[in-house]
Amino acid sequence: MQFSARMMTRIALVALLATALTMPATAGAQGLLAGGATAASVPSDDDISGAVPLPSSPVAGSLDYAPNDGVNYNDGDVFSVYLEKGQTLTARLMGPAAAQFVLALYSPDATTVNDPDAPVVAETVDMFYPSFLSASDTGDFGFVAPDDGTYFLEVYTYYGTGAYTLDWAVGAKPSVSISPSHYIRYGQSTKFTGSVLSTDGAGLAGQPVELYAWSYLTDDYKKVASTETTTGGAYSFTIKPTGWTFYKTIALVNQPGLSFVQSVEKQIKVRIVLTRPAAPKSVYLNRKFKISGYMNPRHLAGNHTVYVYAYRRLSNGSYKYVKKFRTTNGDSLAHPTYSRYSTSAATLPYRGTWKLIAKALDDGKHAYSYSTTTYLKVR
């Protein structure tokens, strides 16, 4: 059984603040049943002994991090939910930007959420919103019940105070597809398409679908777009990444007997755009000549992102690789959004016809890419 690292942190924070803070007592936090501005209050408790049945989704509530007596905190709402063996529980949590609210799901044999050894079977792993419930042992999206029983879902705060919204669903897991990983050129747009299908293969129209992205610019997945499925359960997103980016979609299926579902992740790799290397049409044997071109996006001046590969034409008409030239990045006044690559020290050791092809190396943000071909003669 895996135990929640968040729970260990929570206990440590409570102990630390208990010795550092002295504040007057405050009333306990209440969960609120969603359904409009006049939502009814939910008499949820801060522990399993007072847990109430999980209200209809979405659930609205609030958490208060302020201490009562210097030891106890009204920092959690605990709900009970009955799951049959094989059913999937999925949950999505939204909280205040200035606070960190998280979810923890306890097994039927748990007796308290205040025990660091309490059996946590699922929890949120995302330190941003929306955050989703994941199985503690596998990290899979949602939790599949291994046995019938009453489980306990806690919404609690690491830090901060405010309102939260909890969307949840229990049932069989539908399916969601997403288009394959692929390459695009820098500056291009592309589409991610897919569909959401019920367990019998029927398309589910009108279902909310969210797109999440993780790139070299972010620490983890962040929500970047949302849409709804159309006829046949189809959906699509138009994206324009500036560097390598992983994507996944989450369908917040709102059909009875079905859970939310997450797609597999796919990657878009962005290639640097290279112009064809410019060089004289004719050069002298073993004499230096200049090769230059442009690349997009801009790269740091003085670095060596691009190499130019030289191929000699053989008597049978084929080309054989002979050598490569390292170029140096430079700023471009003519094209301020581009960088210039160049070398003035290129030489070729044989007479005849040659071809030059520029290659941009993988720079950690962009995939390698090739230019089109330049031909020249050596006299």
pLDDT at 325: 98
Q: Using DSSP, state whether 20 is helix, strand or coil.
A: helix
Question: Cα angle vertex 285, ends 353, 294, to 5°?
Answer: 65
What span, in angstroms and rounded, lies between the C-alpha atoms of 288 and 278?
14
Q: Are strands 352-360 and 369-378 parallel, antiparallel or unpaired?
A: antiparallel
Residues 203, 195: contact at Cβ < 8 Å? yes
Residue for token digits 């941009």? 360
Q: Give the per-residue pLDDT at 67.
A: 56
What SS3 state is found at 171?
Answer: strand
Whether the per-residue pLDDT at 64 is higher than 80: the answer is: yes
Q: Residue 32 has what pLDDT?
A: 27
Q: What is the pLDDT of residue 65?
A: 76
pLDDT attached to residue 92: 95
| Digit-coded pLDDT (tens) for 206-256 | 999 999 999 988 888 899 999 999 999 999 999 999 999 999 999 999 999
Is the pLDDT assigned to residue 126 strictly greater than 80?
Answer: no
CA-nearest of 272, 266, 269 to 244 is 269
Residue 22 or residue 178, greater confidence? 178
Nearest to 250 by CA among 220, 219, 229: 229
Contacts of 356 (CB under 8 A, 6+ apart): 277, 279, 291, 308, 309, 310, 311, 373, 374, 375, 376
How far is Cα 358 from Cα 368, in angstroms, rounded to an integer?
11
Domains of the chain by start residue, with CATH: 5-170 (2.60.120.380), 175-271 (2.60.40.10), 273-378 (2.60.40.2300)
Span 56-76, average pLDDT: 74
Stretch 159-167: mean pLDDT? 92
- 17-43: per-residue pLDDT in tens? 333 333 332 222 222 223 333 333 444
pLDDT band at 163 (very low <50, low <70, confident <90, very high): very high
343/357 Cα distance (integer angstroms): 14
Closest of 87, 116, 122, 80 to residue 102, by C-alpha: 122
Q: Which two tokens stand for residue 101?
A: 């609210």
Lookup: tokens for 212: 């999440």
User: In what helix (H) or strand (E) does residue 373 lie, and over which residues does it extend?
Assistant: strand 369-378
d(CA 99, CA 63): 10
The pLDDT tens digits for 284-335 are: 999 999 999 999 999 999 999 999 999 999 999 999 999 999 999 999 887 8
pLDDT higher at 271 or 137: 271
pLDDT(140) > 80: yes
Identify any residues that bridge with 139 across adjacent strands, giving them in sequence order: none
pLDDT tens digits for 109-118? 999 998 889 9
Q: Tell me what percent of the residues of the chain surpass a pLDDT of 90.
A: 74
Residues 109 and 239: their CA atoms lie apart, in Å, by: 46
Cβ atoms within 10 Å, residue 136: 21
According to the model, what pLDDT value does residue 289 have? Answer: 98
Sign of the alpha-carbon dihedral angle for 61, 65, 70, 72: positive
Residue 74 has pLDDT above 80, yes or no: no
